[in-house]
Amino acid sequence: MNEIGLEHILFVSTALFFIGVFGFLTRKNMITMLMAIELILNSVNINFIAFNKYLYADKLDGLFFTIFIIAIAAAEASVAIAIIIHLYRSLKSIDVDDADLMKF
Amino acid sequence: MLNFNYIALIPLLPIISFLIIGLIGRRYFPVFSGLLGTLSLLVSFLLSAFVAYQYFFEFGKVDGVYQQIIALKYVWLQFSPNIAIDMGILLDPISVMMIVIVTFISLMVHIYSIGYMHGEPRYATYYAFLSLFTFSMLGLVLSSNIFQIYIFWELVGVSSFLLIGYYYEKPSAVAASKKAFIVTRFADLGFLIGILVLSYYSETLDFQTLIQRLTTEGSYLSGIAGASFLGCSALTWGLVLVFAGGAGKSAMFPFHIWLPDAMEGPTPVSALIHAATMVVAGVYLVARLFPVFSNSGPNALEVVAYIGIFSSMLAAIIACTQTDIKRVLAYSTMSQIGFMMFALGVSGYHGEEGVGFMASMFHLFTHSIFKALLFLGAGAVIHYVHSNEMKDMGGLRKLMPITHITFLLACLAIAGIPPFAGFFSKEEILLACWNSNKLIFGAAVLTAGLTAFYMFRLYFSIFWSKEYKSHNTNHDADAHHGEAPGTMLLPLIILGGLSVVAGFVPFSHLVTADGLAFETEFHLGFAIGPILIAVSAIILAWYMYCKESIVPQKIADSLKGFYTAAYRKFYFDEIYLFITKKIVFNLIGRPAAWIDKNIFDGFINLLASVTESISESIKSLQSGKLQEYAIYFFAGTLGFVLLFIYLWA
Amino acid sequence: MNASQIIFYCIAALIIGGGILAVTTRKIFRAAVFLLFSLLGIAALYFYLNYEFIAAVQIVVYVGGIVVLIIFSVFLTHASGDVMKKPVLWRAVFSALAAAFATALTMLFITEQHFVATGNTVLAPTVKNIGLQMLSTTEHGYILPFEVVSMLLLAALIGCIVIAIKIKTKE
């Protein structure tokens, strides 16, 4: 334990991932669910960078994945916000349990 | 002259005319369909007469024995190397005789119907059905294979159903046609089982092979005679069951209930079907299988004889009390068919012992002529009077002279007065009975006397009795107060003439049980007894019915209970209805319906309701809430991960 | 304990603590701010691992773009000051247990694994190298994904406008 190894960083990313999952499954507000999704995506980013640095230092593939994930996360967050705003106009609430139109 | 293809035309012409008239006749040539039907039948009759002439006088006889010739044969359905249903034409004395009878009577009826059914809205349909019936009957008599005869048997039943129920607006006609079809169909169940029994043991369905195997000593005969069921051999069972089918079609006891009701159909139909052709199908069937009956199944033959005489007597008693003229004629038919049946029943096979067989066929021949004449004459009377009841008639001899004379000729023939046709055939029957079974002989003589009595009761009530008063005053009077039109009179005249001379055909030279001709003798001493009985019956009828008198009513009152029972046809209909409704329906029908509704349907309903309740209980899984779906997804993924990593390897 | 280890643990605490607070707090603005802290922590982690470029991208895009976007949407849906409702109990309990269990399971897999590093020469993640790699068409070149992602961003842009646009109904 005198060196920060790959496992430490992987622990951080794993914990962050499951924190994000917990938040996604628990939060009632649509915007806070979106925040949890961002946490999940970031945990994946950490994973890529860690593997790139520790296992594949001669290539930059992990880094590029991270860049692209960041770009895509940005796009997805903006589309999600647009949908939430549109839904807010119909339902007058951002409670995710109010959007149960697809029930039986 | 051995080219037989034209024989196939005999049944084919009627079926083609059925198709043409049935499909396009009603629309395009309604009036001409009658002529088309009649013409096709005329050609059929001429061909049949030609075949008969050729068969009986040119090639049929080989060494003095009339042969059974297979004219055409076509393998239709091959079940196994042994058993096949072939469609074929069998020529043999009885089948040739039958095709002549069927085509001739059918032709007479066709001509008669041009006048009788004139103006009917469904005129073309009527002729189509007549052609269908003629085709079916011809197919029946020409069958070479026992299954083929069954097929045509059913077709005849269907045609009869269509024709009895021709006036389908009348509920009584509909009920009568249903009754006829159901009763005969029920009897045909026995017929089918009989066919199966016989063909199973003889391993063939072809008539010639079947008869040969079941009459000569060998493995087939011992097999079927050996297998026994409830005390009787399988052969007896098979023959009795086949006879049951025949009894249904021929209106023998206990299947006779449909024949009186079948008089709801038009009168020419009654003449064709219920006098001359369809009802003799049962007799024909027994005659066709006669070698098996007489050589190997004498028990079955006794059953035939006793049922025949019983039906005959029953019908004769009932006929004495009926007031509807068509019903009298219907019971008379049943009685005469009974004569034919018991004549077969007491017959032997070889040579002179086969006089019963010959007499039965002879009586079939003559009976068809005078019974058809009686019905057509009755039709003319009904056409004139617009009623079936005797009380509405009387004194018609001056108003309908030709009908009167021909009707009288037919009555004399049926009563057995020489030299008319019925005398010769009836005398041969009585001779056959005297030679084998004195009890049946006595009953037969009694029945013959009753026959003469009720037929002349009918005759006197229609044509003498009282002066005729027309019941229709606002009828367009004078147009109708003449005799029937020419098309109706022509068949009457032809048939009247034939009923005088038909007795002189030397039948015993032509149609016998084993094909050999024999001479019949005419014993004056033997014949005089029945003649005297018949004459005295006629005198009795003259006394009671020639003028209106109270004698019949007094006799009826003195016989009180018996008279009422006879008038009500001995309550057979009520008994059968009771059995079906109270016993069969309640004990079998209702429980079966209950099982079907509650158990079978209930089971399916149970499956459906279980599915429904399961689905109700799990439908809340689809709540529409995103997070719940995500939870299921996450939990499922976790489960799969655990499963694959820890439990798979 | 080196200084670098201590620094790492502090960064890790920031990340995880920010994350937990972001998903459990009941005031929405605070959740956004805790998210911001968590993302800053992640950027610090990238700096710690000597991937400066990614750290910069993280701060610029995530913190400066996405968190701002989220805060704007909070304003637009008029939810800024309210206290949010409590989460459904069975969901919370189940998710917590499942998440904890899954974390433990994953860590078990990771610790059992023996990671082998390649012994090749290290390619330093300088901006020059990143640029050369990103725009090269040879093997390990990322020009194609680069173009595709730019298409994606365009599509997302147009899509957002279309979804969120208010259609004026004609009275």
Whole-angstrom distance, CA of residue C125 vs CA of residue A66: 13
Res B479: pLDDT: 46
Question: What confidence score (pLDDT) does residue B64 get?
Answer: 64
Instruction: Say if the Cβ atoms of A104 and B626 lie within 8 Å.
Output: no
Q: Are the beta carbons of A96 and B625 separated by less than 8 Å?
A: yes
In Å, how far are B316, B548, B554 from B460, measured between CA atoms? 17, 10, 18
Cβ neighbours for B344, distance < 8 A, ≥ 6 positions apart: B283, B286, B287, B290, B293, B301, B304, B305, B308, B356, B357, B360
Work out the minimum CA distance from A99 to partner chain C, whole angstroms: 15
Q: Do C96 and A16 touch (CB under 8 A)?
A: no
Q: Which residue has the tokens 């895509």?
A: A72
Whether A100 sits inside 8 A of B624 (CB atoms) is yes
Q: What is the CA radius of gyration of chain A?
A: 17
A100 vs B623: CB contact, 8 Å cut-off?
A: yes
Are B631 and A100 within 8 A, CB to CB? no
Cα dihedral value C125, C128, C133, C134, nearest 10: 100
pLDDT, position B231: 74
Instruction: Report residue B60 as tokens.
Output: 């049929």
Report the SS3 class of residue A29.
strand
- B398-451 pLDDT, tens digit per residue, is 888 888 999 999 999 999 888 888 888 888 899 888 888 788 888 999 999 999
Residues paired with residue B89 on neighbouring β-strands, in sequence order: B72, B143
Burial of B289: CB neighbours in 10 Å, binned 0-12, 13-18, 19+: buried
Nearest to A59 by CA among C120, C123, C50, C132: C123
A99–chain C Cβ distance below 8 A for any pair: no
pLDDT for the residue B608 = 95
Say how many C-beta atoms besides its own lie within 10 A of residue B5's C-beta: 8
Instruction: Quote the minimal CA–CA distance from C171 to chain A in Å.
Output: 19
Q: How far is A84 from chain C (nearest CA, A)?
A: 8
Q: ipTM of this predicted complex? A: 0.91
In tens digits, chain C (171 residues) has pLDDT values of: 788 899 999 999 999 999 999 999 888 889 999 999 999 999 999 999 999 999 999 999 999 999 999 999 888 887 666 677 777 788 889 889 999 999 999 999 888 888 887 777 888 888 998 888 888 888 778 899 999 999 999 999 999 888 888 777 654
Judged by a CB distance cut-off of 8 A, whether residue B633 touches chain C is: no
d(CA B331, CA B335): 6
Q: What is the pLDDT of residues A43-58, one digit of tens each?
A: 999 999 999 999 888 8
Q: What residues in chain B have per-residue pLDDT under 70?
A: 1-3, 63-65, 297, 469-482, 649
pLDDT one-digit tens code per residue, A73-91:
999 999 999 998 888 888 8
**Of B489, B513, B507, B374, nearest in space to B100 by CA:** B507
Contact B469, B389 (CB under 8 A): no
pLDDT value at residue B44: 92
- In angstroms, what separates the C-alpha of A26 from chain C's closest C-alpha? 5
Q: What is the pLDDT of residue B400?
A: 84
DSSP string, B503-526: GGS-HHHH--SSSB-------HHH
C55 touches chain A (CB under 8 A): no
- Decide: residue B377, CB within 10 A, 0-12 exposed, 13-18 middle, 19+ buried: buried
Q: Rounded CA gap, B88 and B95, in Å? A: 13
User: How many CB pairs below 8 Å do chains A and C form together?
Assistant: 220
Indicate yes or no: CB of B638 within 8 angstroms of CB of C95. no
Q: Which residue in C has a C-alpha nearest to residue A56's C-alpha?
A: C118
CA–CA separation, C30 and C18 (whole Å): 10
Residues C111, C60 contacting (CB under 8 angstroms): no
Residue in chain B closest to C94 (alpha carbons) equals B631
Q: Does C44 touch chain A (CB under 8 A)?
A: no
Say whether residue A87 is in contact with chain B using an 8 A CB cutoff.
no
> B621: distance to nearest CA of chain A, Å?
9
Residue of chain A minimizing CA distance to C76: A85
Asked if A40 has any chain B CB less than 8 Å from its own CB, the reply is: no
In this complex, the residue of B631, B638, B642 whose CB is nearest that of residue C91 is B631
